[in-house]
Chains A and B, each alone.
Chain A
Amino acid sequence: MKITLNNFEAFLLDHLEGHLDAAQTTLLMSFLADHPELEVDLELSPVLSDAGITHHFVSPEKLKKADSAVAATSSFNAENYESSFAAFYEGDFNAERKAALYHFLNQNPQLKPEFEIYGKLRTEPDLSVVYPDKKSLKHHRVIPIYYTRWLAPGAVAAVIALFLLFNTNPANDSFSPIQSPLVAIADQPATSDSKQPITVAHQQSVQSQVVRKTGVLSRSEMNAQPVKRSHEVIALLKPLKVNKIEVAGNQPYKLDEGSRYYTSLYTDIRLRDQIRFQEEIDAQANQTIYGDAKAIADKNKFDLWALARLGVKGFNFLTNSDVDFVKARNEKGEVTDYAIGGDAIRIAHSSN
């Protein structure tokens, strides 16, 4: 049997009682030689207490000597001064206890070096140790999309709707009529497996009188006129002064100013932090997005993939995001895979 710190006392007892053979005695001596800190005095007989073997191998003389070297004060003595030093450097002492400890140290100047060591016992992490593959711990929200003829364009139409939802300009707080170059509304949730075609409303230069509403909008109000609903939401969102808006649609939005919320595509936007200034959006939209939208509209035929790309572009302008939209085609030029994604979202589909 191997001698360890856990069982050496039993071996010692056996040794003192003469029960160890020569080999075991050699092992024990070798163990004690390796552990001088145990300060085992083989000349002493062990003292057995009711509870069993106690710390009896350390010479009582040594302990007595150590005790007598420390002059006790009313608060500190040889028994507690070390834990008191530790407590002092942990910041656990109030002014009174500190003063008492300083007094104790003055009474026992030989302990001052030890006291100072306690002040240097702060351990430090090894900053060169890093988790080797943080990327593997991260998550992207994946929304499976079951492929049907219409749902892929439906999903991207929803992105466009999102873009347009935010990109119409209520000129100021008076909420003058707004100009919308293009409106696309997806009436089915993008993630459902519906075979029904997505309804896409296309309007050019639509003018709507926007009515300002504050507070919570009921579901019935929101469901009443789906197209107008977007304008109402726009009107409420743009000034960013509304405390709470709840919009019921296919997938309800719950928007709190300054906080995070999810759209039907679970793309998160922080209103206050990420939505860019309207003027900037307008300028960039006029330069790029509007031109792209007009080009699509001029064809008099929808290319929903182009619409999707446009929607993503607008979304990126609006939220300063880096959402990307990519497609993969086979040799026949058919779309086989597509993905929309950024830091917090990735929607991917493979037709294989």
Chain B
Amino acid sequence: MTVKEYNKCVDQHADAVYRFILKNLHDSERSRDVVQEAFTRMWEKAGDIDGSKAKSYLFTAAYHIMIDTIRKESRQTGMEEVHESRHFTTRHYSDLKRVLDEGLNRLPEIQRSVIMLRDYEGYSYDEIGEICGLNESQVKVYIYRGRIALKKYIGSMENVV
């Protein structure tokens, strides 16, 4: 990977990786740190990375850095707060996109990640598995469960005015 390819990768993927991480961490400062660290790792390995695999490398690195961050923090804060937010209630919304967005926020981290990689980035099960360290079947199951949870969050279409 050349300097130019690396810089192009920054232009093309920094926003997407940032959105992906921010959606999981809900903290712009920490998300910036994760993205920066991911790009630093990519730069350090630039000589070994094929330009066509750069995006995948970047998401994988960012995902693992994010998981490490979450683990470190959960050790410090306990899991109570994390679980507390995962409740589903019947609500009324005027905007399906916003409902889904809120539902997505309430999914367990792994379901949220696989669904975002699927929907936002269009990755295949196989690619998502590589990024998240899962096999294809696990990815499928997490995506299905995530969809079912989103569906339950919405309730019925009558709730979306």
* A and B held together in a complex: yes
A123–B115 touching, CB < 8 Å: yes
- Inside 8 A of B150's CB, which chain A residues have their CB? 121, 123
- B88 surroundings in chain A (CB, below 8 A): 37
Cα distance A83–B144 in the bound complex, in angstroms: 6
Instruction: Name the residue of chain B whose CB is nearest to the CB of A141.
Output: B3
How far is B88's CA from A118's CA once the two chains are assembled, in angstroms?
A: 17
For B119, give its contact among A122, A130, A132 (CB under 8 Å). A122
Q: Are B97 and A124 closer than 8 Å at their CB atoms?
A: yes
B79 touches A138 (CB 8 A): no
Contact bitstring A118-159, B, C-beta under 8 A = 1, else 0: 101111111101111110111111000000000000000000
B90 touches A123 (CB 8 A): no
- B55-91 contacts to A (CB < 8 Å): 79-80, 83-84, 86-90
Asked if B140 and A92 sit within 8 Å, CB to CB, the answer is: yes
Interface of A is mostly: loop
Contacts of A138 in B (CB 8 A): 6-7, 10
- Interface locus among A1-9, A61-69, A195-203, A216-224: A1-9
Chain B residue total in the interface (Cβ 8 A): 50
A82 CB contacts on chain B under 8 angstroms? 148, 151
Q: Establish whether residues B43 and A134, one from each chain, have CB atoms under 8 Å apart when the complex forms.
A: no
How far apart are the CA atoms of A36 and B91 in the complex, in Å?
Answer: 12
Binding stretch for chain B, among A49-57, A109-117, A248-256: A109-117
Chain B residues closer than 8 Å to A92, beta-carbon distance: 140
Known contacts A114-B156, A134-B10, then 9 further A-B pairs from the complex at CB < 8 Å, ordered by chain A residue? A36-B89, A87-B140, A90-B144, A121-B154, A123-B119, A125-B19, A129-B22, A131-B32, A345-B3
Pairs A–B under 8 Å by Cβ, sample size 30: A2-B80, A4-B84, A6-B83, A7-B80, A35-B87, A35-B89, A37-B87, A83-B145, A90-B147, A117-B157, A118-B151, A120-B96, A123-B101, A123-B120, A124-B100, A124-B119, A124-B120, A125-B116, A126-B101, A129-B19, A129-B22, A130-B15, A130-B18, A138-B6, A138-B10, A140-B3, A268-B3, A268-B4, A343-B4, A344-B2
